[in-house]
Amino acid sequence: MIEEGKPAPDFELESDTGGTVKLSDLRGKPVVLYFYPKDDTPGCTRQACGIRDSWAEFERAGAEVFGISADTQASHERFRAKYSLPFTLLADPEHKLAEPYGVGQEGKNSYERSTFVIGADGNVARIMRRVNPDRHADDVLAAL
């Protein structure tokens, strides 16, 4: 199970643009991985738009931000465009990260709303479980 202070499990996933993102390629800067249940649902939209609205602060912190759900690349592309999201969404329809990050929801094809702040050294700096979508951006910025 993932723990604060330990290396974050590496992965490679497809992005909303069709490219791939590999976590280990991002060493040297803080990374925010936020898992959410489903594109374009009320809570997930508020959560994503909260990050969008605080984007300048995330940039000042030098953080790379990635939203991850079990939705497809095409769904992510539509969601990102609809709300003008300035960060990348990663598709994990096969739930590859459910076990290593402990975010799977039993019996559901979605993820638990959880966030992991990963330091520039690749170690997990903060784990946030069952986050409040309305306070999420502020809570993550405080952790950075």
Which CATH number do you get for residue 43?
Answer: 3.40.30.10
Residues 6+ apart with CB under 8 A from 42: none
Phi and psi for 90 in degrees, rounded to 5?
-110, 135
Residues 6+ apart with CB under 8 A from 137: 47, 50, 51, 53, 54, 58
The pLDDT tens digits for 26-79 are 999 999 999 999 999 999 999 999 999 999 999 999 999 999 999 999 999 999
Domain annotation covers residue 75: yes
Query: Domain containing 72: what range?
Result: 27-143
Nearest to 23 by CA among 7, 47, 44, 4: 7
- 117 vs 138: CA distance, rounded Å: 13
Domain annotation covers residue 47: yes
Q: How many domains does the chain have?
A: 1
What integer pLDDT is reported at residue 85 of this predicted model? 98
Kindly report the number of other CB atoms within 10 A of residue 133's CB atom: 19
What integer pLDDT is reported at residue 1 of this predicted model? 79
CA distances (Å), origin 128, targets 17, 88, 144: 27, 20, 12
Name the pTM for this structure: 0.95
Nearest to 136 by CA among 33, 45, 19, 50: 50
Catalytic residue (one of 21, 44, 48, 63): 44
Is the pLDDT confidence value at 18 over 80? yes
Domain annotation covers residue 16: no
What integer pLDDT is reported at residue 109 of this predicted model? 79
Domain annotation covers residue 60: yes
Domain annotation covers residue 101: yes
Proportion of the chain above pLDDT 90, given as a percent: 93
The encoded tokens of residue 143 equal 């952790």
Q: Running DSSP on this structure, what letter comes out for residue 94?
A: T
User: Annotated catalytic, 44?
Assistant: yes
The pLDDT tens digits for 103-132 are 988 777 789 999 999 999 999 999 999 999
What integer pLDDT is reported at residue 113 of this predicted model? 95
Enumerate the β-bridge partners of residue 12: 22
